[in-house]
Amino acid sequence: MRRFQFAIFVQNILSMNETQFIPKLYTKKPENGSVSWQSPSNIALVKYWGKYGEQLPKNASISFTLNNCVTKTTLFYERKSSHGFEFEVYLDNTREVGFEPKIHKFFERVVLYLPFLTDYKFRIETSNSFPHSSGIASSASGMSALSLCLLSVEKSLSSVEMTDAYFNQKASFLARLGSGSASRSIEGDLIVWGEHPNIEGSSNLFGIKYPYTIHKNFLNYQDTILLVDKGEKQVSSTVGHDLMYDHPFAEQRFEQANNNLSFLISIFENGDLSKFIKIVESEALSLHAMMMTSQPYFILMKPNTLEIINYIWAFRNETGSKVCFTLDAGANVHVLYPEAEKEPVLEFIKKELAQFCKNGGFIEDQSGFGAVSV
């Protein structure tokens, strides 16, 4: 096949996949109603950093879905006859016009897959279980909760049966178009997003449940989030991902991430926590290394982030514990450890690490099983 024919062939396959999310004609026209979903945040073990096209990842990523850090969203809808999108967003009962441009952009991206968006006006009421100022990103939980609400509305407009598998896949597909990492917040407890040669069924379009054996060491994996810096994000994820475009180490980084995910497959199977730690911490530091070596460059860790990392390493050396850390694109530290170590590690956190957190603040969480309709 010639090169350009091959490109068209690939494009057709891709659009075939996307077409499955365009609904058949709606058969019902409810005047109004409301739906509610509660959706969790997630913490990536192999990081998504760098994207192309319409919210497609440059490498595959994997995350633990969280249990306690959640967004609850209620979507009220009312039929209208005017054209275009009409909606208002409320955070904790207060109108948040600041969120609306992002939602508008999201509506533009998904209207092909949710054509009823122009037939209704919406009131989006949302609240987070974690404080807004905690520096914990709400885009994953927020965009997944909104996507689930919208898809529930669509379900009520159609007499065509939607299987749970299709519902979850389309919800993840929509959530991805709102925020990449949100595609990993529909189900749990381990979710892969991004095509990976060794993971069957993996896709750039949506997240899937990790399909292979998971050793009991990884059940109810603990994540205590240390709130080092509660301020606004220094680098938005959009700006951050863009830094990977001309990055001198971009290709090596994407390859490294995919290799790390390959290594994790046998680690998840045999429960080797020492090897798990090496991959997870290296991923966190590589993500930050990418930001330090981009143009412009950023240091997103704070002195207390480093203090915490050093304390974790010392504790591990002294006690043989399997506690480790990971980081998002910010200064907060996610302390990860097996459920069997919950008591001693929590005591260590309270005694030694809380001193490095703003007002001693941290959030206790663990892996969970995804969004619920409420």
Q: What angle separates helix 250-270 from helix 273-292, to the nearest 10 degrees? A: 160
Residue 105 identity (one-letter amino acid): K
List Cα–Cα distances, 339 to 207, 342, 345, in angstroms. 25, 5, 10
180 binds ligand DP6 (CB under 6 A): yes
Give the angle 123-104-48 at the CA atoms, nearest 5°: 110
Please identify, among the stretches 107-115, 236-244, 274-282, 305-313, the one whose residues bind ligand DP6 according to the rule CB under 6 A.
236-244
Cβ proximity of 357 and 228 under 8 Å: yes
Residue 180 identity (one-letter amino acid): G
Please identify, among the stretches 46-54, 77-85, 99-107, 256-264, the one whose residues bind ligand DP6 according to the rule CB under 6 A.
46-54
141 binds ligand DP6 (CB under 6 A): no
- The Cβ of residue 161 has, within 10 Å, a number of other Cβ atoms equal to 7
Q: Between residues 35 and 191, which has the closer beta carbon with respect to ligand DP6?
A: 191
Report the DSSP beta bridge partners of residue 192.
62, 208
Please state the closest distance from residue 210 (CB atom) to ligand DP6, in A. 15
Q: Between residues 67 and 321, which has the closer beta carbon with respect to ligand DP6?
A: 67
Q: Which of 250, 329, 333, 345 binds ligand DP6 (CB under 6 A)?
A: 329
Which tokens is 57 given?
A: 């990842």
Q: Between residues 287 and 324, which has the closer beta carbon with respect to ligand DP6?
A: 287
Q: What is the CA radius of gyration of the chain?
A: 21
> What span, in angstroms and rounded, lies between the C-alpha atoms of 106 and 178?
5
> What span, in angstroms and rounded, lies between the C-alpha atoms of 109 and 258?
28
Please identify, among the stretches 43-51, 128-136, 152-160, 259-267, the one whose residues bind ligand DP6 according to the rule CB under 6 A.
43-51
Positive or negative, the Cα torsion across 84, 90, 94, 96? negative
| Residues from 279 through 318 that contact ligand DP6 (CB under 6 A) | 287
- Concatenated DSSP letters of 6-46: HHHHHHHHHHHHHHTTSPPPP----SEEEEEEEEEEEEEEE
241 binds ligand DP6 (CB under 6 A): yes
Q: Which of 19, 213, 238, 373 binds ligand DP6 (CB under 6 A)?
A: 238
| Residues from 65 through 124 that contact ligand DP6 (CB under 6 A) | none
Residue 332 identity (one-letter amino acid): N
CB-based contacts of 78: which residues, under 8 Å, 6+ apart?
31, 32, 120, 121, 122
Q: Between residues 139 and 224, which has the closer beta carbon with respect to ligand DP6?
A: 139
Please state the closest distance from residue 16 (CB atom) to ligand DP6, in A. 24
328 binds ligand DP6 (CB under 6 A): yes
| Residues from 55 through 74 that contact ligand DP6 (CB under 6 A) | 55, 61
Which tokens is 97 given?
A: 């016009």
| CA-closest candidate to residue 43, choices 25, 69, 64 | 64
Please state the closest distance from residue 357 (CB atom) to ligand DP6, in A. 20
| CA-closest candidate to residue 99, choices 183, 181, 187, 179 | 179
Q: Which of 23, 35, 47, 357 binds ligand DP6 (CB under 6 A)?
A: 47
Please identify, among the stretches 100-108, 177-185, 242-250, 316-324, the one whose residues bind ligand DP6 according to the rule CB under 6 A.
177-185
48 binds ligand DP6 (CB under 6 A): yes
> What span, in angstroms and rounded, lies between the C-alpha atoms of 37 and 117?
18
Which tokens is 331 given?
A: 């200064």
CB-based burial label for 345 (10 Å; 0-12, 13-18, 19+): buried
Q: Between residues 42 and 321, which has the closer beta carbon with respect to ligand DP6?
A: 42
Q: Which of 35, 40, 41, 44 binds ligand DP6 (CB under 6 A)?
A: 44
Q: Which of 73, 181, 202, 367 binds ligand DP6 (CB under 6 A)?
A: 181
Please identify, among the stretches 26-34, 213-221, 237-245, 295-303, the one whose residues bind ligand DP6 according to the rule CB under 6 A.
237-245
Please state the closest distance from residue 338 (CB atom) to ligand DP6, in A. 22
Please identify, among the stretches 25-33, 85-93, 175-183, 305-313, the one whose residues bind ligand DP6 according to the rule CB under 6 A.
175-183
- What is the contact surface with ligand DP6 in residues (CB under 6 A)? 44, 47-49, 55, 61, 137, 139, 179-181, 237-238, 241, 287, 328-329
